Chains A and B, each alone.
Chain A
Amino acid sequence: MVILTKLSWYIRMFGVLQSANLRSRLQYPASFTAEVAIAFFGNLTGFAAVWILVHSFRSIGGYSLVELALLYGVVTTSFAAAQLLFGGFDSLDRMIREGSFDRLLIRPLSPFFQVIASTLRTQRFGRLLEGIFVLSLGILGVAPGWSLSQWVLLLSALLGGICLFGGIMIAAASLTFVAPGVDPGVAGMFGYATAHLSRYPLSIFDERIRGLFTYVVPVGLTQYLPVSTLLNQGTADSLALPITVVAPLSGGIFLLIAGLFWRWAIQHYQSAGG
């Protein structure tokens, strides 16, 4: 019970802090709109790359362009949402270098919470909108007559993806504590690389990559599996229920492990002193 009250307090505080961040960005509405618009159109180059490959190869792993749009949309939307939720980790390296991380540690609040609530990057809204836009194209292209179970499947893929990408960001940021010599620039790229790879059906890769992204970083379970089940209309209903559980569950377990890793790693933090 105590844990639940605490958790709901943290969630409410996260909303309060981030909406304050957002309001401060909105003080310059033209600049805010421009940044979001540029990020929206700019991120579309990512989908343009998929479209160019489809143009050359006709299909990718048996997926047509609209089906790829669905997969791309699910991946990008989850990734951008995770970045909005856990994007504060991007500034962790700066906090540690400038010594402001020490300040977080002496406050009676979870440092994890303080880090994730510290930053809000306007560009992420552009990526989120781009993801939703491509996802909508995909849904409109393939969806006529989706059953309820298919919509639930889509939601479970998004939820699983947010947990998974959030977990990657947490785990990568935790490395900063354990290996202080490693430049934290490393931290950001694992998320981007995973998001980039999982835009494509996992079936086109060789078994080592498939294994890595199924058993170690289960992006195959949280994104590819539910989307491919969705598209496989015939088998959908018999398989939909277990997979609806598998996607968020595997993402959630990954997030939990990443969180435990953070708790362990933060013990190894050594302040630069001063």
Chain B
Amino acid sequence: MYMVYYLWQFRNALKRGLVFRSATFVTVLNNIIFGLVRAAVLIGLYTQVGDSIKNGFSINQVIAYTAVSQALIGPLNFWGNWEFAQSIQSGQIATDLSKPASLYLTSMARTLGRAAYELLFSSIPVLLSFAALFSIKGPTSWQGWVVFLVSVLLAILISFHWSFLLNCICFWTQDIAGFGDVAYYAVLLLSGLLVPIAFFPDWLQALSSWSPFPWMLNYPAELFTGRADNVAAWPVLLRQATWVLVLSIGCRWFLALGLRRMVIQGG
């Protein structure tokens, strides 16, 4: 149903990225610089202890983890996307509701289009820069690449649903900047962006793996580094798919609840 419309939204979002090329350049540069800082700290620590493997990561694997996690910031839209909340605030949502297409699927199509753009124009340059500077290896077999890419797609879907849930809060509060900030810091730490989850104390590892956050970043990044060869890939994909399912039910329910409550101003 309305498949053509969603495809059109997807394509438009993808093309919109091309308009803001200098913004992409900044994102790429930013992600590379922070990646280099993170890598420098980890290299220093590995050199200090003299262990070749720490918490299941070799030094090259931990650099690969850093590179791929910095590369995924763009497609995961980690710093938040408040487009939907803004449409609630501005009343634009009334126009969107008058269209026969689903708000939820339209939003998803746009997010995926944006993510596709970011994968091509920010993830690949970041990864290539790190590949040029360090000896990092991706998955060694084509099956490994397929598993990694499926995992990234699931991660993007988890991130989209999480962000959509946050946006829905706007039905109740008018402004979600505070919620957005809290979510930002939670994601920052618990997704494994600052430090891989494998370095966490056991209890914090257990706690975070029951949240959706590490399934957005840490586990897909581990699949890339090959560390996850000891951790089987299927359970990771299964857990990610479960999160997508749970969060999508939550989103639809939350959206229906919010729409019932919403009052459109003006006439």
Which residues in A have some Cβ–Cβ distance to B below 8 Å?
34-35, 38-39, 41-43, 45-46, 48-49, 52-53, 55-58, 60-61, 123, 181-183, 185-186, 189-190, 192-193, 196-197, 200, 204-206, 209
Sorted from nearest, which 8 A-B pairs have the closest CB atoms? Answer: A204-B44, A42-B185, A49-B194, A185-B26, A45-B189, A56-B199, A183-B26, A183-B22
Contact A45 B188 (CB under 8 A): yes
Q: A49-B189, A181-B22 are in contact. Are A204 and B199 (CB under 8 A)?
A: no
Q: A45-B185, A183-B22 are in contact. Are A53 and B40 (CB under 8 A)?
A: no
B1 located at the interface, meaning its Cβ lies under 8 Å from any Cβ of chain A in the complex? no
Consensus secondary structure, chain A interface: helix
B200 located at the interface, meaning its Cβ lies under 8 Å from any Cβ of chain A in the complex? yes
Q: A49-B195, A185-B26 are in contact. Are A200 and B33 (CB under 8 A)?
A: no
Across the two chains, which residue of chain A brings its CB closest to B181? A38
Chain A min CB distance to B122 (Å): 13
Partner of A34, one of B44, B47, B178, B185: B178
Q: A49-B194, A186-B29 are in contact. Are A42 and B22 (CB under 8 A)?
A: no
15 contacts between A and B (CB under 8 A): A34-B178, A39-B181, A46-B194, A53-B199, A57-B54, A183-B25, A185-B23, A185-B26, A185-B30, A186-B30, A196-B37, A204-B44, A204-B45, A204-B47, A205-B44
Contacts of B207 in A (CB 8 A): none
Distance of A183 Cα from B30 Cα, bound (Å):
11
Partner of B199, one of A39, A55, A181, A196: A55
Contacts of B55 in A (CB 8 A): 56
Contacts of B195 in A (CB 8 A): 49, 52-53
Contact-residue size bin, chain B (C-beta under 8 Å from the other chain): 20 to 34
Contact B30 A60 (CB under 8 A): no
Contacts of A52 in B (CB 8 A): 194-195, 199-201, 204
Which residues in B have some Cβ–Cβ distance to A below 8 Å?
22-23, 25-26, 29-30, 33-34, 37, 40-41, 43-45, 47-49, 54-55, 178, 181-182, 184-185, 188-189, 194-195, 199-201, 204
Distance of A190 Cα from B30 Cα, bound (Å):
9
Chain B min CB distance to A126 (Å): 10
Across the two chains, which residue of chain B brings its CB closest to A184? B26
Distance of A42 Cα from B194 Cα, bound (Å):
13
Contact A45 B194 (CB under 8 A): yes
Contacts of B49 in A (CB 8 A): 57-58
Across the two chains, which residue of chain A brings its CB closest to B193? A49
Contact B45 A42 (CB under 8 A): no
Distance of A187 Cα from B185 Cα, bound (Å):
22
Contacts of A193 in B (CB 8 A): 33-34, 37
Contacts of B37 in A (CB 8 A): 193, 196-197
Contact A42 B54 (CB under 8 A): no
Contacts of B33 in A (CB 8 A): 189-190, 193
Distance of A209 Cα from B33 Cα, bound (Å):
13
Chain A min CB distance to B22 (Å): 5
Across the two chains, which residue of chain B brings its CB closest to A194? B37
Contacts of B199 in A (CB 8 A): 52-53, 55-56
Distance of A189 Cα from B33 Cα, bound (Å):
8
Distance of A124 Cα from B204 Cα, bound (Å):
28
Chain B min CB distance to A131 (Å): 16
Chain B min CB distance to A207 (Å): 12
Contact B34 A189 (CB under 8 A): yes
Partner of B44, one of A39, A43, A192, A200: A200
Known: A38-B181, A56-B55. 16 other contacts (CB 8 A): A34-B178, A41-B185, A42-B182, A45-B194, A48-B194, A49-B189, A53-B45, A57-B45, A60-B48, A186-B29, A189-B30, A189-B34, A200-B41, A204-B41, A204-B44, A204-B48
Across the two chains, which residue of chain B brings its CB closest to A49? B194
Across the two chains, which residue of chain B brings its CB closest to A196? B37
Partner of A35, one of B44, B178, B188: B178
Chain A min CB distance to B66 (Å): 13
Partner of B45, one of A48, A49, A60, A206: A60
Contact B44 A61 (CB under 8 A): yes
Distance of A45 Cα from B188 Cα, bound (Å):
8
Contacts of A185 in B (CB 8 A): 23, 26, 30
Across the two chains, which residue of chain A brings its CB closest to B194? A49
Q: A57-B54, A181-B22, A193-B33 are in contact. Are A38 and B45 (CB under 8 A)?
A: no
Distance of A151 Cα from B51 Cα, bound (Å):
38
Across the two chains, which residue of chain B brings its CB closest to A199? B41
Chain A min CB distance to B167 (Å): 18
Distance of A155 Cα from B26 Cα, bound (Å):
35
Contacts of A209 in B (CB 8 A): 40
Chain A min CB distance to B126 (Å): 14
Contacts of B184 in A (CB 8 A): 42
Contact A38 B200 (CB under 8 A): no
Contacts of B43 in A (CB 8 A): 206
